[in-house]
A and B are shown apart, each in its own frame.
Chain A
Amino acid sequence: MYAYTNSSTEDKSKYNSIANLIDLHKGREGSLIQVLHGAQKIYGYLPLDLQEFIADKMEVPLSKVSGVVSFYSFFSVKPRGQHIIRVCMGTACYVRGGKEIVEHLLDTLGVELGGTTADGKFTFEVARCIGSCGLAPAIMIDDVVYKQMTPAKVNTLLAKF
């Protein structure tokens, strides 16, 4: 019935896990965000077909699902890289040079904000304060915070991945 029925076994098993997740949450007030959160973890991102699948299973309109997805910057509708780079643009990081880091990364990675490199290695985002003001300017790659970044240090860091 949906696109996933024609897709790979890997995709199917991901859709199955998402369906199980929905069964756990369905009917509970405010559970859509939980489901989307989990679905993004399982599938990596939230493309239209997956949003339709979730809308159908949760019995909410697609426009509501996509409304939530597009409201929160955490959700992505495009495939994401293996590693997610988040540059902190909170006040402290901003005044200590966060903006230069962002510009440097835009140039080095050759992607837009929110974009993913052609090799699928990195997705580049900015974050509001990540609570590491003492380490400003800070960036996060996946779950690790890197402190006092400079363009040179960023290069060194990226080369490790």
Chain B
Amino acid sequence: MLNLTINGIQVTAPEGSTIMEAAKQNHIQIPSLCYLENVHSVGSCRICVVEIDGAKTLQASCITKAREGMIVHTNNERVQKARKVLYELLLSDHNQDCLNCNRNTSCELQALGRQIGVEESRFEGKQVSHPVDVSVSLTRDMSKCILCRRCVTVCNEIQGTGILNPQNRGFDTVIGPGMDLPIGSVNCAFCGQCTVVCPVGALKETASIQNVWKALNDPDKRVVVQVAPAIRVAIGEEFGLPPGTRCTGKLANALSMLGFDDIFDTNWAADLTILEEGSELMNRLNIALYEKKVTALPMITSCSPGWIKYIEHSYPNLLPHLSTCKSPHMMLGAVVKSYYAEKISIDPENIYVVSVMPCTAKKFEIARPEMMNKNLPNVDAVLTCRELGDMIKQAGIDFVNLPDREFDAPLGFSTGAADIFGLTGGVMEAALRTVYELITGRELPFANLHVTPIVGLDSIKEAAVKIEQPLEAYRHLDGVEVKIAVTSGLSGAKKLMEQVKDGVSPYHFIEVMGCPGGCITGGGQPRSQDPQVREKRMKNLYSEDESKVIRKSHENPSILSFYKEYLGGFPADNHLAHELLHTHYVQRGEFNQFIEESFVLESPQDIKRQSTQRVKETGAAQKSATSPKREELKPLNMLNLESENKHLKNKLSDAMETIDILKIVISDYSKQK
């Protein structure tokens, strides 16, 4: 333990802690802005400066280690003054359009100003004039960026994708993809982790709220809504409930009050996914182990659209390893516009499907041309959890005190296996519960059905499940040890994919979720100040699973009757099942060299215009359009003539000068004579 003095109080702190941590443990909160516990501490904003006796300058407390005998002042006059100046400088080039900003009152910059008591702004700096960059999924408004670099850390170090990095220098610095390329035209996975950590309104999801209100207000539209498993343990935080609070019933009620016609559950389709993906896995194992033929193993899950976009860019040759299953909400959308439309005799053209997702990449997923059936998109709009929170607030619904409501039949019933789709390891566990039982006729041999080695928040987890005494039909799988791996976050995925690429992957089945922790902390989830938020949401989603009577997807009666009624029974290996529930992937390449598909949208502010032509040209054109050009360029030959003229004139005047001098010399000489 270290002994130090903070603000005149003798305190102790563990060896190795920073001044900020030492202060926090002793009930002193040092104001900070760019610092983000466990994620980002580089001291770039300097707001957390403190005075240390003996040190010449103020030190950033988030990166300065506490030392024995240190005397620290966190709030004396010098520190207070410095903090205010730093804050005012941050504001000096910030677009202070606060009343029209969607982070108004949830902005960390605002909150900080309030905390340190800033009441004036004395400086005015150059404003960034970059156009707002809108893609199908993410929107970047660099005029609001304060260069804290949290997004840079998340994008480079946590996700390992490196889409966002500082460009240019000084006042011209912007955080973004290189060469002014719009984010919709590069290899961004749209995971949205940057939007979760952005303290201001610079990075956010591209809003879909207005489209959804419009559909809800259209009397000719049947508006169907579905919610992802991870939403139910996070939406409460938008209304001040503790992180992880289970709000399933309130959520369904609020959706009904918003005016949605059918309140369905993506969980239903998660159960469906397990049956489809499970049979696909058994099929591939069969081909590899029984027929001894070549097939793409390990098979990799395909529920996370950010992960899908990542692999399409970074490992285009590994696409056959992906399960062909659509992600659950796309399956549900497809089922609504076919099976359900027929059931209620409504033209699918008049159905508008809204998915409430913990994810920004889902906004990209619904824009994929592969996600259409009969020329209709499977899903029409995706709202993030944050956007749904906004809508509920806009509608004046008292969410916290709402009574519970059930989801609607027939696409609202789900098993516990579906709930855990929302967290890392969940899809794998759900699949194992079903696959093991289908092969052996016995329940998965783990306590409480939880595959403990793959529970938790480690980046890469692995396990092996041995198949013993299988049913007659699966006799060839007797004794086979199915090796599995689970990862969440794209840097973990990268490690596993390198193994697959090199042909040394020992696994049969890999679950990948694009965001660290899985959907519970997806890019569309509420921004939380609680460093334990992952653990809390995870714990509650597991209890949601445990609270269900049926906890295995293949026992969901609603799914089984869907197979029977519509697909001719399970397993359904027919055209309709393929069309509705399966998809294919496209090779994109790191620099989109394999496909010219752009996800850039025109900014609603009409600031910039994007042509649909090749994205690289777009980037270049944009660059030249923004750089001011001289009104008229003089023709080249005129330039040359002018310069030749000037040159000759100079020569002439030099010669005249010489003549004058010579004249003087001559006259002097002749006088002498």
A125 to chain B minimum Cβ distance, whole angstroms, is 15
Whether B179 pairs with A48 at a CB distance below 8 angstroms is: yes
Q: A63-B167, A66-B177 are in contact. List 10 more A-B contacts (CB 8 A).
A: A1-B589, A52-B590, A56-B591, A61-B163, A62-B177, A63-B162, A65-B178, A70-B168, A117-B636, A118-B633
Pairwise interchain contact B179-A66, C-beta atoms closer than 8 A: yes
Partner of A48, one of B163, B619, B646: B619
**Quick check: A51 and B178 within 8 Å, CB to CB?**
yes
| Given contact pairs A63-B167, A65-B178, A77-B179, A156 touches B591 in the complex (Cβ within 8 A) | no
A51 & B165 in contact (Cβ 8 Å cutoff): no
Q: How many residues of A contact B (CB 8 A)?
A: 33
Whether B630 contacts A108 by the Cβ 8 Å rule is: no
Partner of A110, one of B163, B177, B178, B633: B633
Complex CA gap A118/B609 in Å reads 27
Those of B152-192 within 8 Å (CB) of chain A: 156, 161-169, 176-179, 186
Across the interface, name the chain B residue whose C-beta is closest to A153.
B650
Nearest residue (CB) in A for B616 is: A48
Per-position binary interface string of chain B over residues 536-552, scored 1 when its CB falls under 8 Å from any chain A CB and 0 otherwise: 00000000000000000
Q: Which of A23-78 contact B (CB under 8 A)?
A: 48-49, 51-52, 55-56, 60-67, 69-71, 77
Q: Can you name the residue of chain A whose Cβ is closest to the Cβ of B164?
A: A63
Within 8 A of A (CB), among B572-592: 589-591
Q: How large is the interface on B (under 10, 10 to 19, 20 to 34, 35 or more residues)?
A: 35 or more
Q: Is residue A127 within 8 Å, beta carbon to beta carbon, of the partner chain?
A: no
Give the 8 A-B residue pairs with the shortest CB-CB distance, closest first: A66-B178, A61-B162, A63-B165, A159-B647, A67-B165, A155-B646, A63-B178, A70-B168
Check A61/B161 contact, CB under 8 A, given A70-B168, A70-B169, A112-B630.
Answer: yes
Whether A119 sits at the interface, judged by CB under 8 Å, is: yes
- Asked if A152 contacts B650 (CB within 8 A), the reply is yes
Q: Which residues of B contact A (CB under 8 A)?
A: 156, 161-169, 176-179, 186, 589-591, 593, 616, 619-620, 627-630, 632-634, 636, 639, 642-644, 646-647, 650
Query: What is the distance, in angstroms, from B517's C-beta to the closest C-beta of chain A?
Result: 23
Q: Is the CB of B643 within 8 A of A155?
A: yes
Instruction: Give the residues in chain A near B632, CB-CB below 8 Å.
Output: 110
- Cβ contact within 8 Å between A67 and B166: yes
Complex: A55 Cα to B186 Cα, angstroms? 13
Chain B residues with Cβ below 8 Å from A111 are 630, 633
A48 and B634 within 8 A (CB): no
User: B163 near A108 (CB under 8 angstroms)?
Assistant: no
- Checking A2, A60, A67 against B593 with a beta-carbon cut-off of 8 angstroms, the contacting residue is A2
* Distance in Å: Cβ of A107 to nearest Cβ of chain B: 9
Which residue of B165, B627, B634 contacts A61 across the interface (Cβ within 8 Å)? B165
Q: Which residues of A contact B164 (CB under 8 A)?
A: 63
B431 to chain A, nearest CB (A): 33
- 9 CB-based A-B contacts, threshold 8 Å: A56-B591, A64-B165, A64-B178, A66-B179, A67-B178, A69-B178, A108-B642, A111-B630, A158-B643
Residue of B nearest to A48 (CB): B179
- Chain B positions within 8 Å of A62 at CB level: 177-179, 186, 590-591
A108 to B589, CA, bound (A): 45
Q: Is the CB of B176 within 8 A of A63?
A: yes
Q: Are A118 and B169 in contact (CB under 8 A)?
A: no
Residues of B within 8 A of A49 (CB): 616
B589 — which chain A residues lie within 8 A by C-beta? 1
Within the assembled complex, what's the spacing in Å between the Cα atoms of A51 and B180? 13
Contact B590 A56 (CB under 8 A): yes
A112 to B629, CA, bound (A): 7
Q: How far, in whole Å, are A155 and B646 apart by their CA atoms in the complex?
A: 7
Smallest distance from the beta carbon of B530 to chain A beta carbons, Å? 30
A147 nearest CB across to chain B (Å): 17
Instruction: Provide the A127-161 mask, 1 if CB < 8 A to any CB of B, else 0.
Output: 00000000000000000000000001001101100
Residue of A nearest to B629 (CB): A112
**Chain A residues positioned under 8 Å from B619 (CB to CB):** 48
Q: Who on chain A is nearest to B152 by CB? A: A63
- Contact flag A48-B620 (CB < 8 Å), given A64-B162, A71-B168: yes
Name A73's closest neighbour in chain B (CB-CB).
B169
Most buried by A among B178, B591, B593: B178
Quick one: which of B168, B169, B177, B628 contacts A63, CB cutoff 8 A?
Answer: B177
User: For B628, what are the chain A residues with a Cβ–Cβ distance below 8 Å?
Assistant: 112
Q: Which residues A61-98 have CB closer than 8 A to chain B?
A: 61-67, 69-71, 77
Q: How far is the CA of A110 from the CA of B650 in the complex (A)?
A: 22
Closest residue of chain A to B169 (Cβ to Cβ) is A71
Q: Check A156–B647 contact: CB distance below 8 A.
A: yes
Q: How far does the Cβ of B281 sit from chain A's closest Cβ, in whole Å? A: 33
C-alpha gap A74/B627 in the complex (Å): 18
From B188, which residue of chain A is reached at the shortest CB distance? A63
CB–CB B639/A108 < 8 A: yes
Q: Nearest Cβ in chain B — how far from A37, in angstroms? A: 17
B529 to chain A minimum Cβ distance, whole angstroms, is: 28
Roughly how many angstroms separate A55 CA and B176 CA in the complex, as a whole number?
16
Cβ distance A140 to chain B, nearest Cβ, rounded Å: 19
Q: In the complex, A48→B634 CA distance in Å?
A: 29
A77: chain B residues at CB < 8 Å are 179
Q: How far is the CA of A112 from the CA of B642 in the complex (A)?
A: 19
A69 CB contacts on chain B under 8 angstroms: 178
Bound together, the chains give a CA A25 to CA B620 distance in angstroms of: 29
Instruction: Determine the chain A residues whose CB is within 8 A of the CB of B176 once the complex forms.
Output: 63
Which of chain A's residues have a CB closer than 8 A to the CB of B186? Answer: 62
Bound Cα distance A36, B194 (Å): 29
A109 to B590 Cα, complex, angstroms: 40
